[in-house]
Structure 1
Amino acid sequence: MEQRINFYQKGPGATKVLFGLSMYLAKSSVEQSLLRLINVRVSQINGCVFCLNADTAELRAHGETEQRLYLLNAWREAPFYTDRERAALAWAEAVTNVREGHVPDEVYEEVSQQFSEEELIDLTLAVTTVNTYNRMNISFRTPVTDSKPWEKTVAVK
């Protein structure tokens, strides 16, 4: 497929807003390794090849194991994720797949046992942010170019 628009270059205002959200999340009290894992899971759900390529490369660069990456789409059955990660993954899936105007109460109860209110707000912002990146990249057919695509994006000014 041919790229429609390089929104990183042609949409500097939108890119600046998205990068601003990412910069805020980089300072979140939610551990970065978990936020990166959430990025990959949400991108799997949405089928964003650009984001999957970028986020799995970033996770590997920060020491994530291949086994956990390969089994992420089956995290419920795999024994390699902590209770906190499981709660965050369930929350990320529920927020991404929100239907009928709500996230199930049982998912909220589970995640609220693992995260403070501030962390839960940041976790939800992380899920909605990666969903936005996914939708932008899918809509404009951002191509996969290499294993470190974030290095080629336009710097925030």
Structure 2
Amino acid sequence: MTIRLDYFKHADPLPLQALTAISGYLRETDLDPQLLSLMELRASQLNGCAYCIDMHSKDLLALDVSLPRIHLLTAWREANVYSPAERAALAWTEAVTRLPDGETLQRCYVELSEHFSSRAITQLTFAVIVINSWNRLSVAFGREPGQYRPGDLDGAMKRALERFADLRLGN
């Protein structure tokens, strides 16, 4: 793929900082980092985002996730390497990414609520929303995979989160 536009170079910084701040916030919650990365990888697979697939596969490896759990993610329903809570979160990821009929969403929500608190469900949903946003930017503008290394974005997420915390506090 050829890069069409370097959105980090040409976009107004505020929307990118907002997305980065949400990503940073999610890293600071009680959500399991492996679950969060599995969800990000699954949404990226659904959206065909090569850059994010590369990124989240590397993040999972850095978290010492076994190769079968990474490689079998596209067939998670048939693989026995995911817990019931992970399966519920992956179903929710797919439902929020694809936005199927209300009946499907309701079924996924009920299953999710058996494993997660309302606060965690909200956080999981924001995780799906933000990765879908990053996927759309990266696919639309042709972001090249291969350069990302785990931890590359930690500083940017921390700075963006601090900036938004300062705005919330009126600083």
Task: Measure how far apart 1:5 and its partner are.
Answer: 1.5
CA separation in 1, counterparts of 2:54 and 2:32?
21
Aligned partner of 1:20 in structure 2 is 21
CA separation in 2, counterparts of 1:53 and 1:9?
21
List alignment gaps of at least 5 residues for structure 2: 161-171
Task: Measure how far apart 1:104 and its partner are.
Answer: 2.5
CA separation in 2, counterparts of 1:31 and 1:100?
28
Going from structure 1 to structure 2, the CA distance change for 1:122 and 1:102 (only over 3 Å counts) comes to farther
Does 2:38 align with 1:37? yes
What are the Cα deviations for residues 93-149 of structure 1, in whole angstroms up to 9, with x where unaligned? Answer: 001010346752211110011100000000000001000000000011001133528
For 1:1-157, list aligned pairs within 5 A.
1-11=1-11, 12-100=13-101, 103-148=104-149, 151=152, 155=156, 156=159
Give the TM-score normalised by the residue count of structure 2.
Answer: 0.84
What secondary structure sits across from 2:114 in the alignment? Answer: helix
Q: How many residues align?
A: 157
Say if 2:34 and 2:60, in contact at 8 Å, map to a contact too: yes
* Partner amino acid, structure 1, of 2:6: N
CA separation in 2, counterparts of 1:25 and 1:117?
15
List alignment gaps of at least 5 residues for structure 1: none
What secondary structure sits across from 2:51 in the alignment? Answer: helix
What secondary structure sits across from 2:152 in the alignment? Answer: helix
Going from structure 1 to structure 2, the CA distance change for 1:6 and 1:150 (only over 3 Å counts) comes to farther
Q: Percent identity?
A: 35
Going from structure 1 to structure 2, the CA distance change for 1:111 and 1:98 (only over 3 Å counts) comes to same
CA RMSD of aligned residues (A): 2.1
CA separation in 1, counterparts of 2:92 and 2:77?
13
What secondary structure sits across from 1:115 in the alignment? Answer: coil
CA separation in 1, counterparts of 2:87 and 2:125?
15
CA separation in 2, counterparts of 1:145 and 1:120?
32
- Which moved further from structure 2: 92-101 or 115-124? 92-101
Going from structure 1 to structure 2, the CA distance change for 1:149 and 1:14 (only over 3 Å counts) comes to farther
